[in-house]
Every structure is written in structure tokens, then in C-alpha cells.
Structure 1
């Protein structure tokens, strides 16, 4: 006996009902291992009874998954004025227990601050020390209205997808902006691989639960480097907290972590990344061979505090590419440094930069803001300025500029 699942989609004022015949034995999906996170709108516009329908939908989708620590893990958060995490991938491993927790979730009230919720989900729920790094990362977002800041929502969704997280976006009701739902959702060249849904009302959630679960089960991990290469490259990032300050240094460290996430990084990979922070000898630099994979590097960048000394390029020249610190004799050598104003001792810095270049390394400069001196940039950077100087207008822009920077250095890897 075949069971038909009906998908109700509202397009240009017309309600389409599409039947998907499925064999009963395809309903239970073991699939590949995955970490699946439900991000659920709990704003004031959603009535209590409709909020419960969302919870029933989530419980029914979870029922289809093969939930256990080695297969599918589940997390869940709510959003309105803020992001309200309910449980993480590590909290529960028993399917029945998860479903009970889901059904007991309390309805909150507030606005639709979707951008904030997506950002915190990405940073917290899918943090390297929470989500597994060798499985598919999937977010399922349910909402009934336009977000408070659609442009920010689209930007945060893009950052999330760039990190390798697949997003299913489900818009419910007549107040939905389908263009925003499409901006949130992942894309696919396969027209059958649908990530965006628009349902007429909350009752229609039941019509897509099996389809959504099956699609989720078929997703494979997304960890393809932005610029694949087989040539060895050693990249050193040089950061000076004495000049930048703690807040800006943390933004730079996050930028480096996101850059590493786009590359094929690791001790047994083509690319190794080291990070030298201008600090006292007792503090830890990150050498090229410090971590086996990029995820441990990213976690360290996001958690490590550093103290201060001086002359970061001198330290890079003397220590960074040593064999004992992971340097490889035949690897391409790149040094990336950051400037947001005039150099304090430009002559000394230029001497160190020249020595680094004689050592066979290219120097790239990331220029932040409009207070950087053009003549200093041209002396500090290697080669043609257009190829070795990467400019951003401010630190806020730097947060999302890592893909563009990766595209530039890919030419040299």
C-alpha cells in the first residue's frame, strides 16, 4: 500500500497540492550521521495553539530520524526578541526523551529578531566544541513573518551557509516574505533538492514532515575548501593587540578562524596555518604544526587570551617557519598582517618585512579603515599592491570579508 504525502505551497495566490507517493518503508530514515538544529519562531504573532502545532511537527520529524550519539543528534532553540536555546546536541541522546522535552517547550512572546537568532545559532549551537565536525550540519528554521531587519537576516544566513550549515527555511502564513525565505534557505542546482517552503497555515506543517525528514537524511557533510589545492603552503597571520586592542583583536581572530574554515588546513593537508600574536614569551603562539585539523585551530582562536610584547614581524621572521614549529622546506610561504593606522616605527618594520621577503615569503596586508598610510602599505606588502593589499572599510566589514580574502590568496596557493 502506498501512502501519499501532500505538500501545500502558496504561489501567486494559488494553492497547489502536490502528491508525493512513498513506500511505507522509506518513512524511517537512518541516513548518514548529522547534527540537526530546529530554530523556532515564538513571537507574539503566533497563537498558542499554532505554537503547539510547530512542536508537534518537530516531534514528528524527529521520530523519523535514527537518533543516537553516533547517528543523528538533535538541538533546538527559540527566537523572538532574543535567541533562547532549549537544548544542545550534547544534552539528550534518547529520542523519546527529546520528544518529551520538545512538547513541553513554553511559548515566549516578542518580535521577530531572526538575524540575531541565526547568528547565535551558528556561533553557539554549531560551535566546534559542540557540533561534530565530520557530519552534516543542518538547521531547520520555522517562522510566520518578516524579520525585523531583513538585510541583516540575509547576511547572517549567508555566513551560516558559508560555514557549511545547510538551512531549510519554512515560512508559514500570509505575512511571509518569500524572497526573505529564499535568502535564508540553502540553494541547490538540483530542482528536487528544495530548501525553502511556504505553507498556507500551521495545519499544513503535517504535509511536509516526511518530505523534510527524508531530504535531511540525504544531506552529506559540506566541507569542500573554497580553493582546492594540492601544493603545500604555510600561512602565518601576524596580529598586534598592543596596537589593535582586545576587542578588535578578537574580531581579527574570528576573521582568521573563518578564513581557515574555507581552506584545506591540517598537519596532513596542503595548507598549514600559524598565528603569531605580539605577546610575552610565556604566552602561546600557534605554530604551523600545533593542530591536526582546522577545527581545533578555530576553537583555539575563539577561546585563547593573549598578552603583549612588541615587534611581531621580527618574531615571525625568527620563529614562524622553523622546521621544529611545523615549517616545510618546499612549501609556499605567506605572511598576513593587519593595519588600521600609521606604523609607530615604520623603518624598523620595513627592515623586518624586507628580511621576511628575502626568506622567500610573500607579505599580504589587510588594511582596515581610512587611517592607514598608503606609502607604508606599498612598502610593507609584497609585489603588486592590488594583489597583496586587501582593504576593508571598518572592523564590522572585516567580520564578513573572509571569503573575498580567501579568493585573493587562492591565486598564490
Structure 2
């Protein structure tokens, strides 16, 4: 019996030893990297981080979004430390629809939108705190930081409140699965005026990853674990409230209510236009063309076999409506087409099959292969954005699936569409008429469905599809249609 127990425990002991050796290796590599970096911020702790963020600001008006890693590499108790941090953070701000609004986005292999909340959801401190502590631990199988930042771009900051600060604080314990996509989405947020901070926890997240997210080197913070953030409170506080000297972030009493009038004489309200005296004055950044800030490779997917003259005309008008928008005219936007090839059925003379082999005649049709929509979406995922077709890894991967009738292989289409979306492809689903059920389009399309599902009810609506897609891809662009002869 004892021998059996020992044999059962051997794999566990091996994994424990292997884990310790691996962790020691990672820690040493982490320390070596730290020694050669010029700008290393002391590692510290999350416990008092909340009290630092506003005490020197005198009360700013801001939209503040926390992006919390909810993947399996973070243990449930550590995830609770993140949510407790946000809960404490809320206490030092004047939460309200016209002052400070707070959002929390959690992610793992995807954005857990059901377990997140947006800036306009809660209008007071009590409700925000309650919502934060109700966020569950999800143990996502991947770290898709790119999807979280993409969600900020397309949902959270689609319409930005004017005259306030826009701040995002990303906390993660590991590198994202697609670093280039993470960098691309972070770059776009910076272009539209969002200030990003990156907090790396533990030894698995690289400095390169944090640099690609943060707006500046001063916005990068690295700590050993979730219990070690205390020493960075002053640095982070000075970054968010540059009008402050930073001394007031050292030892400050806890603010117990945000409804009391602030009487502290050492703090002043920071106008949104205040620029740190240590930083040269620069013009207010303008929003760059969408193709430069957030380039995209766009594949149109349609079935040529099913097209009659009217369908062909509609598809052409949709394509024209998109490519003729102003945002599509800038460098960085590419379009391509994936469609079925008409099957070739060779003519067969009477002399080919006679009485001695006439039973083999049906085999002529065996070589005819019709490409279904499932096949086309599989091509889109596997080869649609390949280098051989001119695709770019650094660009968004977008597919516009146009259906003139509900596909016979609808179930297979939905399965392959889901696989394509999980690989990082953003899918629009367009139904040219009422023959295609909205339910099918919604299962093909990406989130949010209201932007990625388009049903055409009349001929006059076809011309609106292209500009509508452009508006979703470039929410801050003009999307005006350029008239060309």
C-alpha cells in the first residue's frame, strides 16, 4: 500500500521540483534583464495603490478603465486582490456621471463582457464597489490582452467624453498570445488620446510587452507579486497627477467619503489641459487616419456560384461603398476577395459510356467539388491573410461574409466562423435579404453584434452597408464617401 502511495506521489513531486527549478531560472533571467535596463521602477505591492491615485490631484474629472487579467495563470486569491484594489481605488474619487466614471474589463482567452462593466453602467460609488466585488474568477486558458484592448477601442471608447482625462490601467502577469496585435491596439488608443499604464506582476511578463502597452516609460510598473505594490504608489500617483509634487502620496489618511468637500490646501484641481512643467509643451494630438493608426486587411467572402445579376450588383455596391469612404483612401488599408470557383463539369460524348460500362457514368460527377461557405471561411482563416496573398501580421484581420441565402451547411459555417474568430479574425455578417435569418448572421459575426450584423431589408439599404462597416472599423474617422467619376 505504501509503495502504491509513493508511486502516485512521484509525478507530483517531479512537477513540484521542475516548477521550482523553472521559476528560479525565470527569476534569474528577470533580474538579469532588470540590471541592464536604465529605467527600472522598484518592485513593490498593490495594497495601498488605490490611495495614491487621486490624493494629489485635487479631484480630476476622468474616465478610468481597469483591464484585469483573468487567466488561469493568476490564482483565484490573487484575482480577488485585483478586484479589492479597484474597490479601494473607487473610494478616493468623486464617482458620478459628470465627474469620475470607472469601468472594469476582465479578460482571458476572450473579453468576459458579462463579467465586466462599462463607464456608463454605474453612477455612484456604492454600486461600482458592489459590481467590482461580484466579478468572478474565470481562469481563462489564454492571455488575450489584444482582445481586451480591441474591446476598449470598439466599445468602451467608441464615443469619448469631452473635456476629461481618459486613463487605462492594464494589469497582467504574462505576455499576450499575440504581441503584435496587442501593440497595434494600444497604439491606436494612444493616438485617440487615451493614457495607458501597464503593471506587470510576477516573472512571466516581459518588459517588451509592458513597453508596447504603456504610453511612456514612466507608465511602466513591474512587481514580484500581487502583495508587492506599495513602493510604486508615489511613482504612479505622480504620473496620473503630474501637477502634484508627489510628496503628498507618501503618507495620506484614507478618504472615507467622496461627498465631503475637499479642504486640503496642498492640492488643487487639475484642469484637463495642465501640462507637467518637466515636459515640453506639445500641441494637442490629432487623430491620425485610421489606415495609419490601425491598418486592416479586409477580405470579402461571397459565393460566386449563387450570384445572379442582382446579387452581383448588390455585392459590388457594398464593396464600392466601403472602399470609397475617405478612411479607406489612406495607406494601411487593403482589400481582397475570397469566393467559390465555378465547378468545371467536362462534356462527355455518347461514345464514352455504352452498355458495357454505362453504370460508371454517375462517377463523372464525383470530381465536381462545390465550395460551401464553410469551405470559404476555412480558407479565410487558414490562407486569407497569409503573406503569399499580401497579408500582414501587424494589421487587423477582417472578413466580410455576404450571404444572399441561408447556406445549406449553416451549422458547419457557424463552427468554422467561431474558429476563425478565436484565431483573431473580426467577422461581419451581411444578409442581402430576408432569406437569411438574423440568428444565423449573429452566430457568424463578431461582437458587438449590433455593429457586425447587417440585414438588408430593401434595395435602398445596400448603399449604406459599406459606410456602416467603415464606421465600425474606424469609429473616429469621417467615413465620408468620396465621389469619383
Q: Report the TM-score when normalising by structure 2.
A: 0.43
Q: Give the alignment of 1:363-378 within 5 angstroms.
A: none
Kindly indicate whether residue 91 of structure 2 is the aligned counterpart of residue 63 of structure 1: yes
2:60 to 14, 29, 32: 32
Aligned length: 254
Q: Give the alignment partner of residue 162 of structure 1, picking from 171, 188, 191.
A: 191
Q: The residue matched to 1:55 in structure 2 has which SS?
A: helix
Alpha-carbon spacing, 1:226–1:51, altered in 2? closer, same or farther (3 Å): closer
Does 2:138 correspond to 1:108?
yes
State whether structure 2 residue 235 is matched by structure 1 residue 184.
no
Call closer, same or farther: CA 1:93–1:13 in 2, change over 3 Å: same
Q: 1:70 to 1:146 in 2, by over 3 A?
A: same
Is structure 2 residue 78 aligned with structure 1 residue 50? yes
Unpaired segments ≥5 residues, structure 2? 1-29, 45-50, 243-269, 274-282, 289-312, 332-450, 478-485
Residue 256 of structure 1, CA deviation: 6.7
How far did 1:200 drift? 1.4
Aligned with 1:99 (options 93, 111, 129): 129
What is the rounded CA distance, in whole Å, between the counterparts of 1:216 and 1:248 in structure 2?
45
Shift of 1:13: 4.7
Alignment pair present for 1:12 and 2:42: no
Q: Which has the higher strand share?
A: 1
Cα distance in structure 2, aligned partners of 1:112 and 1:123: 19
C-alpha distance in 2, partners of 1:98/1:63?
10
Match of 1:255 in 2: 327
TM-score by length of 1: 0.50
Unpaired segments ≥5 residues, structure 1: 1-8, 228-240, 260-300, 313-337, 339-394, 404-413
Alpha-carbon separation, structure 2, partners of 1:159 and 1:214: 24
| 2:220 maps to 1:196 | yes
Give matches, 1:3-402, under 5 Å: 12-13=33-34, 17=42, 27=55, 29-85=57-113, 86-110=116-140, 111-128=142-159, 131-187=160-216, 194-209=218-233, 211-213=235-237, 215-218=239-242, 220=272, 224-225=285-286, 244=316, 246=318, 249=321, 255=327
Q: Which has the higher contact order (CA 8 A, sep 6+)?
A: 2
Compute the displacement of 1:27 (Å): 2.4
- C-alpha separation in 2, matches of 1:251 and 1:40: 37
The range that moved more, 138-147 or 78-87, is 78-87
Report the secondary structure of 2:126's partner residue: helix
Query: Is the Cα contact below 8 Å between 2:53 and 2:237 reproduced in 1?
Result: no
Q: Which structure carries more helix by proportion?
A: 2
Instruction: Say which SS state the counterpart of residue 170 (structure 1) adopts.
Output: strand
**In structure 2, distance between residues paired with 1:84 and 1:248:** 35
Deviates more, 1:102-111 or 1:29-38: 29-38
Is 55-64 or 75-84 further displaced after alignment? 55-64
Offset, 1:199: 1.2
- Which of structures 1 and 2 has the bigger CA Rg? 2
Cα-Cα RMSD: 4.8
- Determine the C-alpha separation between the residues in 2 that align with 1:223 and 1:127: 19
* Aligned equivalents of 2:110, 2:54: Cα separation in 1: 38
Deviation at residue 127 of structure 1 after TM alignment: 1.7
